[in-house]
Amino acid sequence: MNQLAQAHMSPQTTRLASDWEPASWQTRPSLQQPTYDDPLELAQALHKLGQLPPLVTSWEILALKKLLGEAAAGRRFLLQGGDCAESFDDCTSPLISNRLKVMLQMSLVLVHGLQLPVVRVGRFAGQYAKPRSADTETRGSETLPCYRGDLVNDSAFTAQARRADPQRLVRGHAHSAMTMNFVRGLIDGGFADLHHPEYWDLAWVDHSPLQNEYRAMVESIGQSLRFMETLAGNSIDSYQRIDFYTSHEALLLHYEQALTRQVPRQQGWFNLSTHFPWIGMRTAALDGAHVEYFRGIRNPIAIKLGPSVTPDQLLRLCDVLDPEREPGRLTLIHRMGIAKIDVALPALLAAIKAEGRSPLWVCDPMHGNTEAVANGYKTRRFKNIRAELETAFDVHAAAGTHLGGVHLELTGENVTECLGGARGLTEDDLALAYKSQVDPRLNYEQSLELAMLIVRKRGHGGA
Ligand code: PEP
Ligand code: CO
């Protein structure tokens, strides 16, 4: 039986909360939600959203949960990545396919070097809502609501653009569906065929310093595949297709609620807007609306953990969100920053281990390493990203826990948003192609380099 069918038939292991319903978050304090000025317009948009078909299916969700459980046990590695925030304007063929290409190339490097299957999860097809540090933004004498992501408002600095527009909830669903549809089409159409990794090449990187290393690896994979096929006497079709899953920060709870559904032959509720939603660092309060919403859905879920989370808070979150200790249910994504990881992470690992829990541990080396440089750009230094990731492997090894994945902000475009990397981007280079409206992303080269560094740190024969 294939993996999907098995997952579909797996028994219900999560005890269903009888005191939960998709709207029960509304009784709790909900942070980071926009203020809509027309309740009727909001209600109509949510009604419309509630009628639209879902973006993913329950059997895909359960299949991913199983894979994440295997990653927690060290039998797979999670590669989760994509933009900090998607935008409606970026819902284009080249941007989507380039992002997919980067993730496919990275996963090839990881599979080859770690000798482990990789679970690929995009931060896409729904990553349209952003938590912000302030509710308003002031420029000169004018103060307006902050930009909260394309699911809420527009980034232009005018009162009309910054209005929280309920129609955007419906447009967000449509753009997610278009993205999903294209990704599914590419994957089903053989885009990810291991016989043709040249399909994944990005035109502008021919001159990259990393290309020789990457090409040599691709060549050796091609040879192994041809050897296996000669041995088997036919072509290995299973290498023509891979799985790709979606994730986003489930921030805007009205939107998530409207896509939370029951499905035939399954108990409980699924968030069918994405396979793998996560709770952001700013909305992970135990008694808050987000934790209330997440506790009732059957998806695999993740929580972002910053340096201020205490072991006690974490254990209580785990008890609420994963009372049954179900394999694959809970992923803990730490994003401490290079300055704090040594101090903040060991106590969390020790507490979880002492409780006998085995969540999937993932390192996000991006969000704790954001800084503003003299020329005003918000950036991240490649050397800090790399150092946090390498430190994370060491801290887990010392604690006797397992780091099973990485969470990155990246793009397939030739942007100049993060400093350093093989090409040594400098502060002056940032202005060349800084496109992000929110956080700085690794560009193609920096992403591939990071995948190679993970392999050097953890691969066969590595530390
Ligand atoms: C993000 O992932 O873009 C984000 C806002 O992360 P965090 O909640 O970890 O700050
Ligand atoms: Co971000």
Cα(136) to centroid(ligand 2), Å: 19
pLDDT of amino acid 128: 98
Question: Atom 2 of ligand 1 has which residue's CA nearest to it?
Answer: 84
- Tokens 């690992």 correspond to what residue? 349
Cα(345) to centroid(ligand 2), Å: 20
Whether 201 is in a domain gets the answer: no
Contact 441, 418 (CB under 8 A): yes
Whether 421 is in a domain gets the answer: yes
What is the average pLDDT value for the chain, to the nearest integer? Answer: 91
Cα(281) to centroid(ligand 1), Å: 6
Torsion sign (Cα): 182, 87, 291, 388:
positive
% the chain with pLDDT above 70? 90
Cα(339) to centroid(ligand 1), Å: 17
Integer distance in angstroms from the first to the last C-alpha of the chain?
Answer: 37
Structural domain including 184 reads: 3-192+241-458
- Name the pLDDT band for 2 (thresholds 50, 70, 90): very low
- What domain count does the chain have? 1
Whether 311 is in a domain gets the answer: yes
Q: Is the CB of 335 under 6 A from ligand 1?
A: yes
Whether 230 is in a domain gets the answer: no
Residue 385: name the closest of 370, 408, 366 by CA. Answer: 366
Mean pLDDT across 197-221: 70
In whole angstroms, what is the distance from residue 366 CA to residue 388 CA?
9
Mean pLDDT across 229-242: 67
Q: Is the CB of 280 under 6 A from ligand 1?
A: yes
365-409 pLDDT, tens digit each:
999 999 999 999 999 999 999 999 999 999 999 999 999 999 999
Contact 371, 378 (CB under 8 A): yes
* Pair type for strands 270-271 and 142-145: unpaired
For residue 249, the ligand 1 atom closest to its alpha carbon is: 2
pLDDT higher than 70, residue 445: yes
Mean pLDDT across 52-60: 97
pLDDT of amino acid 202: 63
* Pair type for strands 142-145 and 245-249: unpaired
Cα(303) to centroid(ligand 1), Å: 10
Q: Is the CB of 307 under 6 A from ligand 1?
A: no
pLDDT of amino acid 139: 97
Whether 210 is in a domain gets the answer: no
For residue 306, the ligand 1 atom closest to its alpha carbon is: 9
For residue 281, the ligand 1 atom closest to its alpha carbon is: 8
Contact 314, 348 (CB under 8 A): yes
Q: Which ligand is nearest to the CA of 436?
A: 2
pLDDT of amino acid 252: 98
Cα(407) to centroid(ligand 2), Å: 11
Question: In the numeric block, which tokens belong to residue 137?
Answer: 């933004």
Mean pLDDT across 270-296: 98
- Which tops the pLDDT comparison, 55 or 196? 55
In whole angstroms, what is the distance from residue 100 CA to residue 301 CA?
22
Burial class (CB in 10 A: 0-12, 13-18, 19+), 20: middle
* Pair type for strands 360-363 and 403-409: parallel
pLDDT of amino acid 152: 98
Mean pLDDT across 25-44: 97
- Name the pLDDT band for 240 (thresholds 50, 70, 90): low
Probe residue for ligand 1, chosen from 121, 290, 331, 335 as the CB with the greatest number of ligand atoms within 8 Å: 335
218-233 pLDDT, tens digit each:
777 777 777 777 777 7
pLDDT of amino acid 5: 43
Mean pLDDT across 336-361: 98
Question: Atom 4 of ligand 1 has which residue's CA nearest to it?
Answer: 280
Q: Which ligand is nearest to the CA of 442?
A: 2
- Tokens 């639209």 correspond to what residue? 52
Cα(218) to centroid(ligand 2), Å: 31
60-92 pLDDT, tens digit each:
999 999 999 999 999 999 999 999 999 999 999
For residue 85, the ligand 1 atom closest to its alpha carbon is: 3
pLDDT higher than 60, residue 106: yes
Q: Is the CB of 367 under 6 A from ligand 1?
A: yes
In whole angstroms, what is the distance from residue 100 CA to residue 189 CA?
14
pLDDT of amino acid 7: 45
Contact 417, 441 (CB under 8 A): yes
The CATH number for 299's domain is 3.20.20.70
Whether 393 is in a domain gets the answer: yes
Q: Which ligand is nearest to the CA of 368?
A: 1
Q: Is the CB of 248 under 6 A from ligand 1?
A: no
pLDDT of amino acid 414: 87
- Name the pLDDT band for 105 (thresholds 50, 70, 90): confident
CB count within 10 Å of CB 8 equals 17
In whole angstroms, what is the distance from residue 291 CA to residue 286 CA?
6
Whether 7 is in a domain gets the answer: yes
pLDDT of amino acid 213: 78
Q: Is the CB of 252 under 6 A from ligand 1?
A: no
Whether 420 is in a domain gets the answer: yes
- Which tops the pLDDT comparison, 454 or 237? 454
pLDDT higher than 70, residue 11: no
% the chain with pLDDT above 90? 76
